[in-house]
Structure 1
């Protein structure tokens, strides 16, 4: 323990001498957690609509007004012809074109039906699909208003009444879903990326030879490298939880101690991975590329952006064996659902096995010559 204490003193002094690393470890997580969830909002809003009004009636004006008042659409142009509106779609100024044919109002009043033409830019499939669905919902609502204004009987109500409620995220805010994911991402960067530069840095500056000729055991050396970044990761978690509460009003429903316990084990696994990468690399550039390659896979297959259940079978199989996938799920369970220890126990055991395995590989792979 006395040897380990001296190693820890060396690592902390070396860490605090590098001001750039301090900024990366403490300031950048605050900035990223404050900005990324807002930039990554997948809620579709501000859909640009080009309208072709060939009727110019009172009904078309009410439809256009209802469309603009919905809060989801921005009317960028009212074109006299369809070709002009289509040009707005081609140059990217509009996402959807709504064409209102001539005699729109007359056909609605006399015949009770009228067709509309909707053209969507499908380069962004999500935006076009959801935007078209929003537009159709506004038109259906407008159609109901027309029936009432024309003294027509509205469609008979359904026999079955449906009442829905949103649990765990009652206001359905996307930030509540993404903030815990970004917090996991920050811990992954600290645990996997920064630690991967640690041992290889000793190789580059030449101090690894001095350490190798000392009677320090391999496990002491690896543990001395692991603990400082483990402490840093726990501090980043604390800062992240404070930012989540102050910026987004997210207060964990579950046990804070359980969240820290899971994070502690997960960081041990990621630090073991980073140190393993550092032991097999010859320089920091090589270590950065290896760590970046694997961390990109971890992040993209963790469920941060896309639900794991929506992935192909081969991708779900790979995601099942990644510690970040299970930790991402557990963090959201604790913060949003208030899950208990028994709920996350299988995940905790899985992370613990990964931590033991990766650190054992790092210790074994570290070549200590005397």
Structure 2
């Protein structure tokens, strides 16, 4: 234990003597969490639209007003020339064109199909899908409302109305459908992972580059003691960063903490050991910090893309879903969202925690064995 304490003291002194590293460890994660939480969103904020209204009727004006009143659509261009509207879309001025033909209101009132056309810029497929979904919802609501008015006017007598089913939707876990609530736990996992993977990945390599690894190798320090001394300092820093991020998520973004905070911290401790063990393994198979950074960055990008942060794992191809089985970030993102947003307990997450514990144990043992092979 005395040897490990000496190693830990050495590592912490090296970390805190490097004044340029302290902002990276404690300030940059906060800035990244603030920026990414607002930038990494698929929410539809504002859609510029063009209108081609050849009908100029009460119904067509009501339709356009309904789009504008939703808060998502802004009437950027009103014209009778379809080519002008298409040119505006090609130039990126508008994302949707509403074209209402002549006789739209007449067809509707006389019981015939009333046609209109929505032209959506689908270069960004996810945004186009949201525009189509919102537009369809607005049109369905308007259609139902106007049908009731037409039927009431055309009714010869006033028969007793039968009762109808009133559907009141209620969203669980994220009642206001706030995308930040969904993204912040996942982004926090990514930031903690980057600190653990990159710093531990360059740790042993840095000792080799500055020439102190030979001095450590001739001491009676055992291999596991050396690895523990390299792992624990950044584990502590990662946990501190996680606590700062959780406080910011709770009091800055108002993320609901429905689960047990101790459960989150316990799983985070296991996860950090896993991701840092991977970093130590990278550090033992590379010879320069640049090589370690490249490999760590490559793995980090793959882990993030296959982690379910931006796209659901269930919507990925089968081969990609199989790769997520060995992705520690995918497990921790799911656990964070389940515990914080759903209030999940140990029973719901235990299988994923066991997988993280297994991966961490294997990676740490391989790192120790690999260092034994390469150390001279």
Alignment TM class, shorter chain as reference: over 0.9
**Partner residue, 2:51:** 51
Name the TM-score, length of structure 1 as normaliser. Answer: 0.94
Query: 1:345 aligned to 2:329?
Result: no
Residue matched to 1:20: 20
Spell out the pairing of 1:357-368 with structure 2 (5 A cutoff). 357-367=362-372
1:326 aligns with 2:312: no
2:35 paired residue number: 35
Which of 181, 184, 191 in structure 2 is aligned with 1:179?
A: 184
| Structure 2 match to 1:304 | 309
**Cross-structure match for 1:204:** 209
Counterpart secondary structure, 2:32: helix
Output one character per residue of 1:185-217: Cα deviation in whole Å (capped at 9) or x when no partner. Answer: 011101111211111111111111111122211
- What does 1:1-370 correspond to in 2, within 5 Å? 1-110=1-110, 112-150=112-150, 151-152=153-154, 162-367=167-372, 369=375
What is the CA–CA distance in structure 2 between the aligned matches of 1:359 and 1:102, rounded to whole Å? Answer: 72
Of stretches 282-291 and 301-310 in structure 1, the one that deviates more from structure 2 is 301-310
CA RMSD in angstroms comes to 1.9
Q: 1:168 and 1:177 mapped to 2: Cα distance?
A: 10
Does structure 2 conserve the Cα–Cα contact (< 8 Å) formed by 1:43 and 1:174?
yes
Note if contact 2:42-2:127 (Cα within 8 Å) is conserved in structure 1. Answer: no
Deviations for 1:111-164, whole angstroms, at most 9, x for unmatched residues? 6542111111111112112212221222232233433444247xx999665454
Question: Partner of 1:75: helix, strand, or coil?
Answer: strand
C-alpha distance in 2, partners of 1:63/1:253? 41
Contact 1:213 1:369 in 2 (8 A): no
C-alpha distance in 1 between matches for 2:222 and 2:232: 16
**Cα distance in 2, alignment partners of residues 304 and 145 from structure 1:** 39
Q: Which SS does the other structure have where 1:19 is aligned?
A: coil
Q: Deviations over 1:264-310 (max 9, x none)?
A: 01100111000110111111110000000111111111111111111
Q: Distance in 1 between matches of 2:260 and 2:186?
A: 18
How many Å apart are 1:256 and its aligned residue?
A: 1.1
Instruction: Answer with 105-114 or 323-332: which moved more.
Output: 105-114
Unaligned runs of 5+ in 2: 156-160
**Residues 223-253 of structure 1, C-alpha deviation per residue, up to 9 Å, x if partnerless?**
1010000000100110011100121111321
Kept in 2, the 8 Å contact 1:97–1:118? The answer is: yes
Matching residue of 2:158: none
Cα distance in 2, alignment partners of residues 7 and 143 from structure 1: 72
Distance 1:347 1:86 in 2: 51
- What displacement does 1:365 show? 0.9
Q: After alignment, is 198-207 or 61-70 more displaced?
A: 61-70
TM-score normalised according to structure 2 size: 0.92
Q: For residue 14 of structure 1, report the CA deviation from its aligned partner.
A: 0.4
CA distance in 2, matches of 1:112, 1:158: 26
| Count of aligned positions | 368
CA separation in 2, counterparts of 1:204 and 1:157?
A: 83
